[in-house]
Chains A and B, each alone.
Chain A
Amino acid sequence: MARVILRRFFKHKLAGIAIAVLVFLVFASAFAFTTPYSPTDQEPTNSFQKSNMDHFFGTDELGRDVFTRILYGGRVSLTVGLLSTFLSIALGVLIGALSGYFGGGIDSILMRITDAFLTFPTIFVLIILGAFLREQQVPWLKNSVLIVIIIIAALSWMWPARLVRGLFLVLRERDFVTASRALGGSSSHIIIQHVLPNCIGPIVVSGTLQMASAIITESGLSYLGFGVQPPTPTWGSILATAQNQVFRAPWIAFYPGLMIFITVMAINYIGDGLRDAFDPYVIHIEK
């Protein structure tokens, strides 16, 4: 089945290109340390250089290589995107599965909570939650990247939860479930072995979209100053400090935004391709 899906996926030419772009970005950030500069190497006398052979994207106000900083920034943005999505899906699948499979009282309570979270004005709560966690001064929470991952996940698990719940509501009436139950299968066995595998398609599709959204959210928060804290470079915070120098050195503001744009677009194309690839195996449930 996987081969069929893959074949169908690559029929989508653009999705194939997008995967290539994304893989390239991931490798580029992973191998960011191979550039001749480190993200913190300063040459204050060489500041605000335009793009040239030495510095592909020019230099910033401290003479640091913008290209290198963008690659390192990519690490943060991609990591936040990936990990927060994983966390959010893990949480969402758990809640959605329990809710959809058992129904009744459990469903009622869990859905109430989900609804409550869905009515949060997300950006506001992210800012408040982020500020709160950063001020805790607990040793293991000192890393602002970790904090951003946690808060984004905490406010996006509702989508996979709803999705999975909907899928479960339908799938649990299917024959293979009845059969399994008749044969004496336990609930957890049924959930994990029979129902979940059928959900992978929509979850993966939804997950890619969530990852795109997470990257935009993280950049937005860092841009506002409420996300990843300096000196860690991230696309959003580079863009924020570049605001003061838009007229002197527009490239410092241009490239981070461009990178966000390319990454998100690539992920969106991949998601689109995946959606088409999984098509007939999946029941259409909207986001």
Chain B
Amino acid sequence: MTTYALRRILQTIPILFIISILLFFLVRSAPGGPLTSARRNPNVTKEQIQAMEEKLGLNDPLPVQYSRWIGDMLKGNLGQSIKFHRPVNDMIAERIPNTLTLVGASFFLTLLLAVPIGILSARRPYSLFDYVMTTITFIGQSIPVYWLGLGLIVIFYVVLKNPFTGLPFFPVGGMNTRGKEGELLDTLWHLVLPVTALSLGWIAWYSRFLRSSMMDILHEDYVRTARAKGASSNTVYYKHALQNAILPLITLVALDLPSLFAGALFVETIFSWPGMGRLFWDAAKGRDYPVLLGVVMITAVLIIFCNILADLAYGWLDPRVKYE
């Protein structure tokens, strides 16, 4: 299995190269650039701007800029943010844990709710429970994240107040209340609204997927055989059906990661969550291309990493799969 993992990792290198080249030329060949707001400043002279451009190497030919960038990246240096004059590494390192917290909490909640709902729906198809859950999941899949986030703020921060304290139920944003950085309970309290907004769609999607996946398996021959041999309901559902239904779910989750970051971007903006999505959006507005490229590359690497993990987990869970 180790050789398989290594081989997969090697296979991803050309992919990363392709991605990096495409993105770099996209971002850098657009006109304007990070010095635009400086141009608007009534006090900045044109000569000063040109001096800045020279200094930042913005006037070198593109392939030269690319090789400079890729060389740095391979050494682990993602460059310097043009707007903040800080290493991109630092900026991303600050934000990654926050996004992972948000996304991780949502993922955890999703599994916690989607798996039981999916199983129960599969056990009692077309029952009242199933119909109610189906409707709820359809609703959950269709609500736009940003609309939901806005609604949650209005409802739980403005309109409804905690009957005991008279204060809002949940905070409007940020990761922690001032002075309570790092406190777990406080962070959890701040996570409630953003995680709700983010997870609703996933819970809906995954529970439905698990339901249909399990229902397919329940019709398979080997399940009927197990039932005929007198295996208990629980054994049938959990040992046979669930184990096999989980596998495609893992693949699905791994493939769905890119949209994960999309939802996180909206949630981070609405709830002032200091994560990577926010970092990207701020950088996109400001044309801070080292940050943009850094975030995209790191995210791509994360996605690839998770995909490989999912593959390995799949192989480990399913003894039928062999790796050469």
So, do A and B actually touch in the complex, CB under 8 Å? Answer: yes
B112 at the interface (CB under 8 A from A): no
Binary flags per residue of A250-271, CB closer than 8 Å to B gives 1, else 0: 1001001100111011001100
Binary flags per residue of B140-170, CB closer than 8 Å to A gives 1, else 0: 0111111100110010001000000000000
Residue of A nearest to B204 (CB): A268
Tell whether, in the assembled complex, residue A216 and residue B144 are in contact, meaning their CB atoms are under 8 Å apart: yes
Tell whether, in the assembled complex, residue B144 and residue A220 are in contact, meaning their CB atoms are under 8 Å apart: yes
CB neighbours of A253 from chain B (8 A): 147, 150
Measured CA separation A119–B30 after assembly (Å) = 23
Contact of B259 among A122, A128, A246, A256 (CB under 8 A): A122
CB neighbours of A132 from chain B (8 A): 26-27, 29-30
Tell whether, in the assembled complex, residue A243 and residue B150 are in contact, meaning their CB atoms are under 8 Å apart: yes
CB neighbours of B252 from chain A (8 A): 286-287
- Name A's interface SS: helix
Measured CA separation A169–B219 after assembly (Å) = 24
Given the known inter-chain contacts A119-B300, A246-B150, please indicate yes or no for A135 contacting B32, CB distance below 8 A: yes
A124 at the interface (CB under 8 A from B): yes
Residue of B nearest to A215 (CB): B144
CB neighbours of B296 from chain A (8 A): 120-121, 124-125, 128
Given the known inter-chain contacts A119-B307, A260-B144, please indicate yes or no for A220 contacting B14, CB distance below 8 A: no
CB neighbours of A269 from chain B (8 A): 138
B258 at the interface (CB under 8 A from A): yes
B80 to chain A, nearest CB (A): 19
Tell whether, in the assembled complex, residue B31 and residue A123 are in contact, meaning their CB atoms are under 8 Å apart: no
Q: Which residues of B10-29 are within 8 A (CB) of A?
A: 12, 14-15, 18-19, 23, 26-27, 29
B304 at the interface (CB under 8 A from A): yes
Measured CA separation A269–B252 after assembly (Å) = 21
Count, A-B residue pairs, CB within 8 A? 126
- Name B's interface SS: helix
Tell whether, in the assembled complex, residue A226 and residue B15 are in contact, meaning their CB atoms are under 8 Å apart: no
CB neighbours of B19 from chain A (8 A): 116, 119-120
CB neighbours of A121 from chain B (8 A): 258, 261-262, 296, 299-300, 303
Count of interface residues, chain B, beta-carbon cutoff 8 Å: 50
The 7 closest A-B pairs by CB, nearest first: A257-B147, A123-B262, A265-B142, A264-B142, A121-B299, A122-B258, A116-B15
Given A123-B258, A124-B280, A260-B144: 14 more A-B contacts, CB < 8 Å? A112-B14, A119-B304, A121-B299, A122-B258, A122-B259, A123-B261, A124-B295, A125-B23, A253-B150, A256-B147, A257-B146, A257-B147, A286-B251, A287-B252
Residues of A near any B CB (own CB < 8 A): 112-113, 115-116, 118-125, 127-129, 131-132, 135, 212, 216-217, 219-220, 223-224, 226, 239, 243, 246-247, 250, 253, 256-257, 260-262, 264-265, 268-269, 272, 284, 286-287
